[in-house]
Amino acid sequence: MEQKRICKTCTKEFLIIRQEAEFLKAHDLPLPTECPKCRKEKREKWVSVPYYKEYKCFNCGEPVLVWLKQTDNRPVYCHSCTTKLRKSGQIEIPKPGYKKGISFLKQLNDLVNSLYIVGAPYRENTRYAENAIRSYECPFTKNTVDSFDLSKCINTVNSQHIITANNCVDSTFSTRIEYSVQTISCSNCSNSSYLTYCNSCTDCHYCDNCNDSSHCFGCSGLRNKKYYIFNKQYDKDTYYEEVNDLLNLPHNELLEKVNSFKQTLPIPATIQDGDISNCKYTSNVANCTNCYYAFDSYNIQNCGYLWHVGTTSDSWDLSNMVRKTTNSYECSDLAHSDHCYYSSKLFDVTNVYFSHDLYKCTNCFGCVKLHDAKYHILNKGYTKDEYDEIVSLIRDEINLHYDSN
Ligand SMILES: [Zn+2]
Ligand SMILES: [Zn+2]
């Protein structure tokens, strides 16, 4: 059942393994036409791209920020105008429902483009975010620029989703880091730069998957090491000389050098805790059983292609803050959800396809920004029978069925 395909986006060959095909067959979903990397990039665009744009609230003119890339003609409102206008019925979430004879994906796209956007407020010179420009949800920060979802940060520039940072620049999903630049999913790291998935490292640069190390440069998967460059040990003086030479390279040349070294390494099967059994290509995982390509994840069973996922089973292609999810595929940012497909930002949701921003919903197909909805298609409510009939029409139209060829 294992088969090779060519990715329609990047044209590289990729593999569909037996367990993956079995999962898709059980859920009556088509085999992927894009490689895992392109699929990951596509679904992550739904939730968390390092992008914002300034707008003025269409109602009151107050400046607001919009985090996700949007088409420019959608109306943008500040939080208080949104509440006010919704209460008075002046704006509402559109509920077009399904129209026969028009492509479902076009109808979904039209629905998304007809929604108003709620912008995030600027928080400048407030008690919580001193001198903080363009910040959002950021208690106790100071001198913060272009930042989102921070907490207890000082002098943080252009950062996202950080907890307890200090003098940090461009860091994503990192916790308890100090004086560091460009870190992704690291914790307890200081005086470091360009780290990915590192823990408790100091004075390390361009490293990934390293733990408890210091003075390492361009390394991968090290434990308790000091004075290493490209995974090779040096004495202290030579280390500084060599690093100095490397740092004198133009930055893109340096990055190329680091990348070409890392490409010689196997995918790191490192940082594992707890019970790990019957897994292939995992890193930074704990209590992981029967998984294939899982990163930065814990308590997971029978899954594949996971990034930042916790307490989840029988699911494939999930990324960005997924918690307590089962039987789901190609989703980002969801929690307490079951049987969700091609969707993002879901909480307490079951049996959902092509939907975003749902809360406590079941049986929704192509819906956006709903809560407590049941049997909805393109935001309109139907009876169970109508719902089943239309969903089966749409699934046929877009070929949403398993096909072993
Ligand atoms: Zn690809
Ligand atoms: Zn307003």
Listed by start position, the domains of the chain span 3-44, 53-119, 129-259, 282-397
Task: With a cut of 70, say whether residue 122 has pLDDT above it.
Answer: no
Give pLDDT, residue 125: 40
What predicted TM-score, i.e. pTM, was given to this entire model? 0.70
> Residue 185 gets which letter from DSSP?
S
Q: Which ligand is nearest to the CA of 62?
A: 2
> Which range has the worst mean pLDDT, 64-78, 107-121, 195-209, 368-382?
64-78
Mean pLDDT, all residues of the chain: 84
Stretch among 23-27, 73-77, 164-168, 350-354 having the lowest mean pLDDT: 164-168
Instruction: Kindly state the average pLDDT of the residues 151-175.
Output: 57
Binning pLDDT at 50, 70 and 90, where does residue 285 land?
confident
Residue 138 CA to ligand 2 centre (angstroms):
21
How many angstroms is it from 79 CA to the middle of ligand 2? 7
Could you tell me if 366 and 375 are in contact, meaning their C-beta atoms sit under 8 angstroms apart? no
Give the mean pLDDT of 370-389.
Answer: 97
Alpha carbon of 370 to ligand 2 centroid (Å): 22
- Residue 113 or 376, more confident: 376
Once rounded to an integer, what is the mean pLDDT over residues 188-197? 80
Q: Are strands 226-229 and 214-217 parallel, antiparallel or unpaired?
A: parallel
What's the average model confidence in pLDDT over 363-379?
96
**Cα of 302 to ligand 2 centre, how many Å?**
47
Average pLDDT over residues 213-226: 92
What distance, in Å, lies between the first and last C-alpha atoms of the chain? 10
Nearest to 323 by CA among 338, 305, 339, 335: 335
Confidence of residue 124 (pLDDT cuts 50, 70, 90): very low
List of residues 6+ apart from 248 with CB closer than 8 A:
none
Distances in Å between the alpha carbon of 244 and those of 61, 247, 249, 254, 256? 51, 5, 9, 12, 17
What pLDDT shows up at residue 327? Answer: 97
pLDDT tens string 8-34: 999 999 999 999 999 999 999 999 999
Distance CA 281, CA 392 (A): 37
Q: Which residue has the higher pLDDT, 189 or 88?
A: 88
In whole angstroms, how far apart are CA 180 and each of 106, 151, 183, 305, 390?
A: 44, 16, 7, 29, 52
Q: Which residues contact 63 (CB under 8 A, 6 or more apart)?
A: 54, 55, 56, 57, 122
State the pLDDT at residue 154.
56
What is the whole-number distance in angstroms between the Cα of residue 330 and the centre of ligand 1?
Answer: 15
Please tell me the distance from the alpha carbon of residue 154 to that of residue 246, in angstroms, as a whole number: 30
Residue predicted with more confidence, 209 or 171:
209
Q: How far apart are CA 112 and CA 294, in angstroms?
A: 31
Check whether 158 has a pLDDT greater than 80. Answer: no
The span from the CA of 120 to the CA of 51, in Å, is 13
- Pick the ligand that lies closest to the CA of residue 60: 2
pLDDT at 358: 94
| For the CA of 83, the nearest ligand | 2
pLDDT tens digit sequence for 326-363: 999 999 989 999 999 999 989 999 999 999 999 999 99
Expressed in angstroms and rounded, the spacing between residue 40 Cα and the centre of ligand 1 is 9
Cα 309 from Cα 297, distance rounded (Å): 5
Q: How confident is the model at residue 127 (pLDDT cuts 50, 70, 90)?
A: very low
CA of 237 to the centre of ligand 1 (A): 43
